[in-house]
Structure 1
Amino acid sequence: MKRSLQLSILCIGVCLSLAAQDSHYWSQQFGTRSALLSGAVLGGANDNSMIFYNPGALGYLENSSISINASAYSIGNIRVENALGQQADFESVQIGSVPLLAGGMIRTGDEKWKIGYGIITPVDFSFKGIARLDNSYEVIDDTESPGLEELVAEAAVTTKTSEIMLALGVGRQLNDKWSIGLSNLFSVRSHSYQRNFSTYVFMNDENRTLVGANQNQNVEYYNVRYAAKLGLVYRSGEWSTGLTLTSPSINFFGNGTLANNIAVRNLKLVDDDRISGVATARQAELKSTFKSPFSVALGTNYTKGRSYAGIVVQYFNSIDPYEVMEPMPGTFVRPAELAPELQSDRFLRNRAGAESVLNVAIGYEHQLNESLALLASARNDISYFDESLNDGPGIKSTISSWDIYHFTAGVNLDHRQSSISLGLLYSTGNTGRYEQPGNIDPSNINLVEGSTTITEARYGNFGLLLGYTLNLDRRTNSNDLE
């Protein structure tokens, strides 16, 4: 009786990225105090993180120039059980640092108008893993190769996704209760993905015939896009409420490369004779497209004595699947007579898309004295991964598809014209429906690309947030809302 074997995937990463993933909108939070509150500051905060959260609150800022720098350091663990088989793991260790926000304000002649700028890192995700299997199994029918065959298999995945966003915002205070603003968001996205999969079987015949296959996939591109965020703030007494509308992105420019190479040796397809051949294609300088959805956010903040609380709800619209790059048809299989109907564009396609998402964040701050405050927050971070992207041929370059829940606690120390923030971060998530390609099952082996299995994925992350804020021409305490 043939035995079944599966490889498992394990990623243990040390990366400074606040549990950043490649299919989430809220992995990163920005600023110092705002990050400790998980972004539950739509009603306004006295720092230029409002350029990102709600430009409508810029009109209320009392500081003529503010500079914020914050970094997050974290250790994360990704585990996908039985993803490639039980006897081989993927492992990945990464160390780095990510600035969450750096920016400032520009002085204007009219105190009602405020202009700000900021550079943020909304996405920073990397994964490297390799798994290897070397053992004997019953792979080939005994009529050709009696007994167990020696099988050597290896899989490797390397991917990195990052975005840098430049935000230019302007806000105007209309009166004591109303303020409006607009942020222009310019995003530069870079993505690289490589997957290598190889299997080799030695037949038990006179020649010890080698049967095997290799597959190498590669996606690399950069893209520049623009979106506008309109913000509105209403303040009355102890309450402040904010509303933002973010437009779908407009694609500016970008290009990239797609490659898919398959080589087989002495492979038997159904009842045909064993064949050898290659299927290979590479297309460079392809125009790239990446889309961000329309979103709307509503939040309110309440200040009473030394306590400050906030809640925000943000809805992200869905995006229909689309081609990140559009390859041209061409010869894929060589010799061509092996499969003339197979064209390269079908196997090079790399699609993206997004399901609709609703995220919620709550934050609380208690001022112990004039200088020291305690902060805590929680938020969900629903994955926008569209499972329909798993259907059909092509290169599937997204790793994460699980929902994440973030918890943050820390302190903010105010001192004259500066403040320091220190926080601890914890994130967790899992899914029982993770689709993982490349499973090795000798009882029904696909030597070319393995098989796709449904497995369980678990995610955990611990992190440290360090932030520093410098306020110039400071007029009010950074925790005051009015």
Structure 2
Amino acid sequence: MLRTITIILLVRLSFHYSVAQDSHYWSSNYGPGGLMTPGATIADTKDSGVFFYNPALLAIRPKTALEFSGSLYQIESTRIIDALGKGKDLKSIAGGISPQMHSGSFKLKKNERLVLAYALINNYILSNRMNQRQDTKMNVLNDAYSPGSEYYIGQFSEVNQVSEISGVFSVGYKLSEKLYVGASLEAQVRRKTFDIEYSGRALLNQAVGAKPLLFPEFSNTEAVYRVDYTQLGLKPKIGFAYNQARHHVGLLATLPLMRVFSRGTLMTDYVVSNIRLAPTVEPINLLANTRQEKLTSNYKTPFSLAAGYSYDYGRGRFYLAAEYFARLKDYSIITPRNEYFIRSDTSGSSSTSTANSLKLKDVRKAVMNVAVGISFPVKPSVMGYVSIRTDFSYADEKSFADTGGYVAYTTNWNSYHAQLGANIRRPKFSFRPGLLLSYGTTNAFKPEVNFDTPKESNLLLGDPVNAKVNHVAIGLLLSYIHNL
């Protein structure tokens, strides 16, 4: 019986979604749907950039150039309406200046068919901070031992930060006047910091006539989960391009991320004190705490296949692209060691439940994103750009094998991105300013905590309900290309 109750408590405390914009593949501005970033296409668009998402495009117009796309001025807002109860919204606003890319290409004098290129990329993913609190008087404990309404305090706090820095080396080769091939290898360093803390507490009321206490008894539930990992991985790509008069076609295959090195740290603290799951049972008290260093992370990305098509009309181009991402089965990014966790345990759960309760897990459904763009002449030296793209979430809550652990992503809403700007060409350089807009929403986001309905049977954490999410981002991207 004790073991069953312990498992129930651990599952209730551990299974949680965080809140951020991190379950998408096409959020990056240098993906195949972002025309404002130089070279971010699958098919040839006669771009003046040197970083090509499809490395085969390097060989179409080989040149030696230095390109710096390093100024992204962005503000991003996420609001989850009534997330933790009526009027208890969760809000996150992040903004700042983020360097994006430094890249260059080199054509070889001895072999004009071969072009080499490199890129150093800083991929902004998220920097999320949210907190909320409930402090009110409500009836949360059984009147048999705490008559009337109690003072209830609920708190929630979350920090979720993810960043990626990549170094890319690419090779493009001209097979014929119409056919080109290329390959690239990306070395990616991913850093994630995730800290979530939530609690529910109620002060017990004394029976009528009882001697007053200096400090009243209270029931308490609190959970702290912190994980931090750094992972180095390699991601190969191979691409093809074919040009026929006004028609241009591209194909790109991206292989799954291969882990090279990783290191992670996890710390947790679970406390349940003076909680009665039923009025007739004895109060439950639980203390579980651990900290583990030198853990191995295993963050994965799936195989993807992208195709692009562009059509020349006069001096302008129409562009269409799509990318299919395969599904990922349920796996753990961080799996703790089965070390001592539940303190003063006599049921054997102190080690056997650690890994399943504290793992950081991931599962992804297959998705396909599409992009449409157009370039058009504004004046002889200025080309305008407009593009829109989908960014569907790969969140797949129903495919998890069990309810233990913490989910590495949180967003279950689809996002949509738009870009508009211009490329200003000069003999020695090109300057490209662009406006970036993003929007996502859902009515089916369900946090694990609700401060409107706390009671002992839900550990004073409430019964969650669906909430509405609005996510908006606006940014200014500045790109500069210098031709040597």
TM-score (norm 2): 0.88
1: CA distance, partners of 2:460 / 2:173: 60
2: CA distance, partners of 1:302 / 1:202: 70
One-letter amino acid of the counterpart of residue 462, structure 1: I
Q: Which secondary structure does the structure 2 equivalent of 1:94 belong to?
A: strand
Q: Which secondary structure does the structure 1 equivalent of 2:228 belong to?
A: strand
| Unmatched 5+ stretches in structure 2 | 1-16
One-letter amino acid of the counterpart of residue 374, structure 1: G
Displacement of 1:33: 8.3
Give the structure 2 partner of residue 430 of structure 1. 441
1: CA distance, partners of 2:178 / 2:25: 30
Q: Which secondary structure does the structure 2 equivalent of 1:57 belong to?
A: helix
Contact preservation (8 Å) 1:41, 1:301: no
Bigger mean CA offset, 450-459 vs 406-415: 450-459
Q: Does 1:366 align with 2:376?
A: yes
Which of these residues, 467, 475, 481, is aligned with residue 479 of structure 2?
467
Displacement of 1:334: 2.1
One-letter amino acid of the counterpart of residue 21, structure 2: Q
Once the two structures are superposed, residues 455-479 of structure 1 have per-residue CA deviations (whole angstroms, 9 ceiling, x without a partner) of 322212222222211112xxxxxxx
Contact preservation (8 Å) 2:76, 2:93: no
2: CA distance, partners of 1:351 / 1:45: 42
Displacement of 1:449: 5.1
- For residues 355 and 340 of structure 1, do their structure 2 counterparts lie closer, same or farther at Cα, with a shift above 3 Å needed? closer
1: CA distance, partners of 2:49 / 2:269: 48
Q: How does 1:191-230 map to 2 (within 5 A)?
A: 191-205=192-206, 206=210, 207=213, 208-230=216-238
2: CA distance, partners of 1:86 / 1:441: 7
Q: How does 1:394-405 map to 2 (within 5 A)?
A: 394-405=405-416
2: CA distance, partners of 1:302 / 1:314: 19
Displacement of 1:248: 1.4
| Unmatched 5+ stretches in structure 1 | 1-8, 12-19, 473-482
Contact preservation (8 Å) 1:116, 1:170: yes
Displacement of 1:391: 4.8
Give the structure 1 partner of residue 292 of structure 2. 283
Contact preservation (8 Å) 2:377, 2:383: yes
1: CA distance, partners of 2:383 / 2:403: 53
Displacement of 1:156: 0.2
Contact preservation (8 Å) 1:36, 1:410: no
Q: Does 1:298 align with 2:299?
A: no
Q: Does 1:320 align with 2:363?
A: no
Displacement of 1:385: 1.8
Once the two structures are superposed, residues 85-131 of structure 1 have per-residue CA deviations (whole angstroms, 9 ceiling, x without a partner) of 12333333333222222110134231110000001234421110110
Once the two structures are superposed, residues 333-366 of structure 1 have per-residue CA deviations (whole angstroms, 9 ceiling, x without a partner) of 2221378476211211111122111010111111
2: CA distance, partners of 1:389 / 1:157: 23
Q: Which secondary structure does the structure 2 equivalent of 1:240 belong to?
A: strand
- For residues 435 and 90 of structure 1, do their structure 2 counterparts lie closer, same or farther at Cα, with a shift above 3 Å needed? closer
Give the structure 2 partner of residue 146 of structure 1. 147
Once the two structures are superposed, residues 230-260 of structure 1 have per-residue CA deviations (whole angstroms, 9 ceiling, x without a partner) of 1111111111111111111211110102222
- For residues 120 and 438 of structure 1, do their structure 2 counterparts lie closer, same or farther at Cα, with a shift above 3 Å needed? same
1: CA distance, partners of 2:22 / 2:414: 12
Which of these residues, 387, 390, 405, is aligned with residue 380 of structure 1?
390
Give the structure 1 partner of residue 13 of structure 2. none
Q: Does 1:247 align with 2:245?
A: no
User: Kindly, what percent of the aligned residue pairs are identical?
Assistant: 28
Give the structure 1 partner of residue 102 of structure 2. 102
- For residues 91 and 397 of structure 1, do their structure 2 counterparts lie closer, same or farther at Cα, with a shift above 3 Å needed? same
Displacement of 1:49: 4.9
Bigger mean CA offset, 453-462 vs 234-243: 453-462
Once the two structures are superposed, residues 397-437 of structure 1 have per-residue CA deviations (whole angstroms, 9 ceiling, x without a partner) of 42322110111111211112111111122111112222311
Give the structure 2 partner of residue 89 of structure 1. 89
Give the structure 2 partner of residue 454 of structure 1. 466
Contact preservation (8 Å) 1:136, 1:148: yes
Which of these residues, 229, 241, 246, is aligned with residue 233 of structure 1?
241
